[in-house]
Amino acid sequence: MNRIAGFAQLPDAALYYEIQGQGEPVLFIHGFPLDHTLWDECWNHFIQDYQTIRFDLRGMGKSSAPLHNFSYVEDCLQLLDDLEIEQVHMVGFSVGGRIAIDVALQAPSRIRSLFLISPGLSGYSWSDEVIKSEEKMKYYLNHEQWDQATEHMMHFWVAGPHRQIGEVYPHVRNKVRQLFQQSWLRMREWKGKEVLNFKAIDQLQQISCPTWILVGQDDIEDCLQIGQLLEKQIKGAKLLLIPDAAHFLPIEQPERLVEEVRKGLQSLQN
């Protein structure tokens, strides 16, 4: 089963994508600062039954760097237009989950179902702990202290609040560290940034598509609260807490993620 790779040509950017398999389309959206290889451990489990699509967000992986301010939601919709795909099942991780929610609210006809993995949420008021963490990371990046930025992210997001980084499996640490380090290099090319002018938190009750939320039990408290809020506000949404994992479920618990997403997809065909 051949994998097709290419670039969606947007008016002001080129987005790298890969497609493999046949069936209903399933679009995977990675988080920040990562790329499409986040889904390596999950990919082959979907291509036998679905048209499986993954891509690099603008400014990450093989996609072009932003020349000016932009919208990830618009990028997503333009990617689907370029691929001539009317409707998808959308699987979004972290920032990718936040993007998926925003797409579902701004273009509901394009979304068949949502699978939100450790999702963010536009309009959510992050805790002081998360804000301080983001400020520290920005300081490291602004001063080109790439190693310090990586290690800070590893402790805060990969280990989570309840574990030491040494307790995380070596292959997980190595994979995420590599993704971070590659992304810092790409971010040096950025001339614009994502514009956030949409607050999904105020409109969640408008989401009508089937929705699943997966969050690691050892994730930060903010992500657990977002998961609970989404389950409460989105009609019929199901929240699953995954043991032995913090934020990076696609790398730390790929088998469980695949099991739950496939189970949800198959339930829609019955």
User: Based on the domain organization, do 136 and 263 belong to the same domain?
Assistant: no
Q: Can you give the pLDDT at residue 187?
A: 82
Host domain of residue 31: 4-125+191-267
Mean pLDDT of the chain: 94
User: Which among 143, 162, 187 is the end of a domain?
Assistant: 187
60 contacts 32 by C-beta, under 8 angstroms? yes
Q: Which letter does DSSP use for residue 199 in this model? A: -
- Closest by CA position to 83, among listed 1, 2, 26, 12: 26
CA-angle at 26, arms to 118 and 207, nearest 5°: 60
Torsion sign across C-alpha atoms 137, 101, 3, 254: positive
Which tens digits make up the pLDDT trace of 150-185? 999 999 999 999 999 999 999 999 999 999 988 888
Mapped onto helix, strand or coil, the DSSP state of residue 190 is coil
User: Based on the domain organization, do 138 and 108 belong to the same domain?
Assistant: no
Q: Can you give the pLDDT at residue 270?
A: 60
- Closest by CA position to 75, among listed 4, 5, 3, 7: 7
What would the mean pLDDT of 200-219 be, rounded to a whole number?
97
Task: Indicate whether 41 pLDDT > 80.
Answer: yes
User: Based on the domain organization, do 170 and 229 belong to the same domain?
Assistant: no
Locate tokens 């994979």: which residue? 175
Q: Can you give the pLDDT at residue 189?
A: 84
User: Based on the domain organization, do 135 and 228 belong to the same domain?
Assistant: no
User: Based on the domain organization, do 98 and 134 belong to the same domain?
Assistant: no
CATH number for the domain that contains residue 80: 3.40.50.1820
Number of domains present in the structure of the chain: 2
Mapped onto helix, strand or coil, the DSSP state of residue 227 is helix
Task: Indicate whether 74 pLDDT > 70.
Answer: yes
What would the mean pLDDT of 259-264 be, rounded to a whole number?
97
Which tens digits make up the pLDDT trace of 230-252? 999 999 999 999 999 999 999 99
Give the whole-number percent of the chain exceeding pLDDT 70: 99
